[in-house]
Amino acid sequence: MSDLSTPLGQQITQLRAALEEYNYQYYVLDTPTVPDSEYDRVFQQLLKLEQQHPEYQSPDSPTQKVGGQPLDAFEQVRHEVPMLSLDNAFDEASLLAFEKRLTDRLKDTRVLAFSCEPKLDGLAVSILYEQGRMVQAATRGDGQVGENITANVRTIANVPLRLRGTGWPERLEVRGEVFMPKAGFDRLNETQKAQGNKLFANPRNAAAGSLRQLDSRITAKRPLMFYAYSLGVVAPQDFILPDNHSQRLKQLEQWGLPLCPEVDVASGSAGCLAYYERILSARAQLPYDIDGVVFKVDDIALQQQLGFVARAPRWAIAQKFPAQEEVTRLLDVEFQV
Ligand code: NAD
């Protein structure tokens, strides 16, 4: 049993309390009080202590949980397939360690193919299509229960209300990121300033505040976009989809769902590192904010074999970029939900 009264126990308690407070400000109020790099530093510090002292591990720890509680103001939606987070890598060594964990677990030394995707800095959203028509959209929330934001997502111009073509399953849950492109963010803040309203701190904060509006007419005026990056529920269960994640994304594109133009497939960690460098050097020119890249084992059968841990799949990792924001950028600007 862990003793929380020891100096180590107290340190762990303090780190958990700090992360819980940061999570509440970020996920529930959409008003972060520290830069993401500081959040990540505290998170990694706690994760390391819990790994070194497994007797202190707890299912209640922020290292084991996803996101924040859904707001009561919205109707709640229970996810049929949980919406998880992603493990993070901050350097080349942790990416190599990720690849080694995969090959060890799969007991297969063949070079793996990875779907490589920019890590869009917005909000994860689930969109459900029944008989090809969009019937529901929800936030990730705590991963199990999200907020019903159907009316707001309907106002996003590049989200199809009906799927294109034919051959889609009866029920299809598309997951992806809602974000605000940089140009739209700048225009929005100019308007906010001209009208004497508070400015948004960054495009992610503006996207979150815009999407979680109780009045969808306000959301409709905000320049939001959506890119799909995975599937949730597909019914009937025996519906045949491509065997690879990257081909499934292409299938979604054929059904009219927008994909990030930078998605690609790479071979092994060497290919992933080359992709990381390419996207990092293109970052400033991309029309939207990203905070890293995501690598996913492309073969769905291998993904299923690898499975999940508490808060993230074993078959994917987010490799974060070096911190771009500065504390002053956060502190100089007032935040708005
Ligand atoms: P995460 O952001 O590290 O990764 C999971 C999320 O990545 C998904 O939910 C999805 O929204 C997003 N994503 C973007 N592109 C994707 C793609 N191609 N495929 C799959 N997912 C993609 O994890 P998280 O649990 O959402 O949040 C943790 C992060 O949020 C922290 O590392 C930190 O950067 C930030 N955060 C900051 C504060 C703060 O106070 N500043 C507080 C909480 C969280």
Atom of ligand 1 nearest to the CA of 32: 40
Residue 130 lies in a domain: yes
Confidence label for 1 from pLDDT (cuts 50, 70 and 90): low
156, 225 in Cβ contact below 8 A? yes
* Out of 20-29, 233-242, 282-291, least confident range: 20-29
Are both 57 and 205 inside the same structural domain? no
85 C-alpha to ligand 1 centroid (Å): 7
Ligand 1 centroid – CA 327 distance (Å): 19
Q: Where are the beta strands (DSSP E) in 217-315?
A: 225-235, 264-267, 290-297
pLDDT score recorded for residue 331: 38
Please confirm, yes or no, whether 198 is among the known catalytic residues: no
Whether ligand 1 lies within 6 angstroms of the CB of 85 is answered as: yes
Q: Is-contact 294 117, C-beta < 8 A? A: yes
State the average pLDDT over residues 42-47.
96
pLDDT band at 335 (very low <50, low <70, confident <90, very high): very low
Instruction: Enumerate the β-bridge partners of residue 308.
Output: 313
The CB of 119 under 6 Å from ligand 1? The reply is yes
User: Cβ(279) to ligand 1 under 6 A?
Assistant: no
Whole-angstrom distance, CA of residue 303 vs CA of residue 314: 8
Whether 23 lines ligand 1, by a CB cut-off of 6 Å, is yes
Q: Which residues are annotated as a binding site for NAD(+)?
A: 36-40, 85-86, 117, 140, 177, 296, 320
Residues 247 and 317 in one domain: yes
Residue type, 70: P
Res 278: pLDDT = 98
CATH assignment of the domain containing 25: 1.10.287.610
For residue 261, is it within any domain?
Answer: yes
Residue nearest to atom 15 of ligand 1 (CA): 119
For residues 182 and 51, state if they share a domain: no
Secondary structure class of 256 (helix, strand, coil): coil
Q: Which residue has the tokens 């126990």?
A: 9
- pLDDT, residue 287, reads 98
Note whether 161 and 272 are same-domain residues: yes
Contact (CB, 8 A) for 204 and 179: yes
| Domain co-membership, 232 together with 172 | yes
128 and 212 within one domain = yes
Boundaries of domain holding 172: 76-330
274 pLDDT higher than 90: yes
Same domain, 101 and 233: yes
What mean pLDDT do residues 128-145 have? 97
Q: Does one domain contain both 263 and 322?
A: yes
Instruction: In whole angstroms, give the CA distance from residue 307 to residue 315.
Output: 7
Flag whether pLDDT at 327 surpasses 60.
no
- Atom from ligand 1 closest to the CA of residue 25: 40
Same domain, 61 and 81: no
**Lowest mean pLDDT: which of 68-77, 90-99, 262-271, 278-287?**
68-77
- Indicate whether 308 and 178 sit together in one domain: yes
What is the Cα–Cα distance from 293 to 213, expressed in whole angstroms?
Answer: 29
Total structural domains within the chain: 2
**For residues 308 and 325, which has the higher predicted lDDT (pLDDT)?**
308
The atom number, within ligand 1, closest to the CA of 36 reads 41
Atom of ligand 1 at shortest range from CA of 263: 18
pLDDT at 72 over 70: yes
> Cα(311)–Cα(300) distance, rounded to whole angstroms?
19
Give the pLDDT score at 325.
Answer: 56
From the candidates 48, 119, 193, 250, give the one annotated as an active-site residue. Answer: 119
Which range is least confidently modeled, 65-69, 140-144, 261-265?
Answer: 65-69
Mutate to test the pocket of ligand 1, among 38, 39, 79, 87 (most ligand atoms within 8 A of CB): 39
Q: What is the per-residue pLDDT across 182-226, written as a single tens digit (0 to 9) for each?
A: 999 999 999 999 999 989 989 999 999 999 999 999 999 999 999
pTM of the model: 0.94
Q: Tell me, what's the pLDDT at 22?
A: 95
Edge to edge, the sheet with strand 225-235 lists 133-139, 123-130, 171-179, 225-235
238 lies in a domain? yes
Quote the mean pLDDT of the chain. 93
